[in-house]
Amino acid sequence: MEDQMSAGSSESAESTAYWIEWFQSLKGNEFYCDVDEDYILDRFNLTGLNTEVQHYALAFDMITDALEEDLDDDMRAEVEKSARHLYGLIHARFILTARGLTKMQEKFRHAEFGRCPRVLCDNQPVLPVGLWDVAGVKCVKLYCPRCEDVYNPISRRHLAIDGAHFGTTFPHLLLQAYPNLMPAKTPKRYVPKIFGFKVHHIANEHRKQDQLKEQMQQRLHQAQVNE
């Protein structure tokens, strides 16, 4: 089904949608931003990708809507797959550029990546992150800047997205570039209680956590970092 759609779209490329547009309109691909065409066309940005992707040349042509050869269905499906993968890898590089960061922070502001499942984070919007920069290891995860932790995406569709299409660096670089996007930290935490009483060993753990927090604040104070 999808392959047919893709075939249709890229065969009649000039007339209707561009491949990238079509790719982004697919369900489950909401996390991707559209990579600028001139970024893709600059071969320098693609250094090394040819070894990572099968049918590199064909896949590249497909992404840039320049595929002229007639492929049989099997081959087209394969190239289609490669094209997606190639696009993902280019995407991972693109979102680290100034232009890419701008586009992604726009998406972040609209909470297009979802919200933190942690109750005390009050529906903080999250950012996509990979746990590996190597393709095919892990699916994309979500990084919550408020609790600074990573979560599994809720939607099943997003579980199919390779984490390497976003990379390990992206959310942290984004926050470095736009520090005002960093939400205020919440000192709240869940205190388990049994009939209103704290649980002993957990209360101990919390004390230790508080100690670590104080130590950190002291270090920051010494280093004269403004909170």
d(C-alpha 215, C-alpha 201), whole Å: 21
Type and span of the H or E element at 222? helix 200-222
Residue 126: is it exposed, middle or buried by C-beta count within 10 angstroms (0-12/13-18/19+)? buried
| Single-letter residue type at 163 | G
CB of 131 to another protein, least distance (A): 6
Q: Who's near 216: CB < 8 A, 6+ residues apart?
A: none
Beta strand 149-151 with 193-194 is unpaired
Q: Looking at beta carbons only, is 80 or 153 nearer to another protein?
A: 153
In the DSSP assignment, the letter for residue 100 is: H
Least CB distance from residue 170 to another protein, whole Å?
9
Residue from 41, 57, 75, 120 in contact with another protein (CB under 8 A): 120
Residue 82 CB coordination number (10 Å): 21
DSSP run (H or E) holding 170: helix 170-177
Q: Least CB distance from residue 22 to another protein, whole Å?
A: 26
Q: Which CB sits closer to another protein, 75 or 120?
A: 120
Binding to another protein, residues 180-219 (CB under 8 A): 182, 185, 189-190, 192-195, 199, 201-202, 205, 208-210, 212-213, 215-216, 219
Strand partners, 115: 125
Total residues at interface with another protein (CB under 8 A): 60
Of the candidate residues 65, 118, 124, 157, the single one contacting another protein (CB under 8 A): 118
The distance of closest approach from Cβ of residue 79 to another protein in the complex, given in angstroms and rounded to an integer, is 24
Q: How far is the CB of 104 from another protein (least distance, A)?
A: 15
Q: Which is nearer to another protein, 109 or 219 (CB)?
A: 219
53: number of Cβ within 10 Å: 23
Q: Which two tokens stand for residue 111?
A: 């909470």
* Closest to 151 measured CA to CA, from 181, 187, 121, 177: 121
Per-residue contact string for residues 124-153; x = within reach of another protein by CB under 8 A: -----xxxxxx--xxx-x-x-xxxxxxxxx
CB of 172 to another protein, least distance (A): 5
> Which residues make up the interface to another protein (CB under 8 A)?
117-120, 129-134, 137-139, 141, 143, 145-154, 156, 159, 168-169, 171-173, 175-176, 179, 182, 185, 189-190, 192-195, 199, 201-202, 205, 208-210, 212-213, 215-216, 219-220, 222-223, 225-226
